[in-house]
Amino acid sequence: MPQASNSIRLHRVLRAPTERIYKAFLDPDALCRWLPPYGYLGKIDRIDAQQGGSFHMSFTNFSSGHSHSFESKFVELTPNERIVLADQFDDPALGADMTKTINLGQVSCGTEIEILHEGLPAAIPVEMCYLGWQDSLRQLARLVETEIPGGE
């Protein structure tokens, strides 16, 4: 199936239960840890992690100090299965309405994750968004796949 030129699709299998991955999309400390691509710091200044709620986040380039911020609305939350987010950048020059659909499925070795990120603004090259997501998913894997002995 052809994909729109302003969207990307990602697929990964992570060695972690669906519950842990789902939690990583809702917990503000976890989001700040894994979502910003390499070289960026993330900060969430408000979050209401329920269907219809939202979070406001900024990504700051550690080297240059330049940052951008966005609002993500939780359009759909099906625990441990599906998350749909509607995103809007604060900067009107990036004024695209984006949608991210995250599907989680239990598989024999952990969780299959499929992401469809649609509606990228023209100012963000698709390949740069794809690279950013690859960084983010590597960081997500490091967060959720780690088993900490006696981890209570």
Q: Where are the domains of the chain?
A: 8-145
pLDDT for the residue 49? 97
Q: What is the pLDDT of residues 2-54, one digit of tens each?
A: 445 799 999 999 999 999 999 999 999 999 999 999 999 999 999 999 999 99
Least confident of 28-32, 110-114, 115-119, 125-129: 125-129
What are the backbone dihedrals phi and psi of residue 26, each rounded to the nearest 5 degrees, phi first?
Answer: -115, -20
Q: What is the pLDDT of residues 56-80, one digit of tens each?
A: 999 999 999 999 999 999 999 999 9
Q: What is the pLDDT of residues 130-151, one digit of tens each?
A: 999 999 999 999 999 988 777 6
Residue 60 CB coordination number (10 Å): 17
The confidence band for 94, taking pLDDT boundaries of 50, 70 and 90, is confident
pLDDT for the residue 2? 42
- Is 96's pLDDT higher than 80? no
pLDDT for the residue 152? 58
Taking the whole predicted model, whether its pTM rises above 0.85 is answered as yes
Residue 86's SS3 state is strand
User: How far, in Å, are 41, 120, 122, 133, 137 from residue 5 at the CA level?
Assistant: 28, 9, 10, 16, 21
Which CATH class for the 8-145 domain?
A: alpha beta
Beta strands in 5-138 (DSSP E): 8-14, 40-47, 54-61, 67-78, 82-89, 97-107, 110-118
123 CB-near residues (< 8 Å, 6+ apart): 93, 94
- Write down the residue that tokens 């981890």 correspond to: 151
* Contact by Cβ (8 Å): 8, 117: yes
Helices H / strands E in the chain, number of each: 3, 7
- Is 1's pLDDT higher than 70? no
What are the backbone dihedrals phi and psi of residue 31, each rounded to the nearest 5 degrees, phi first?
Answer: -55, -45
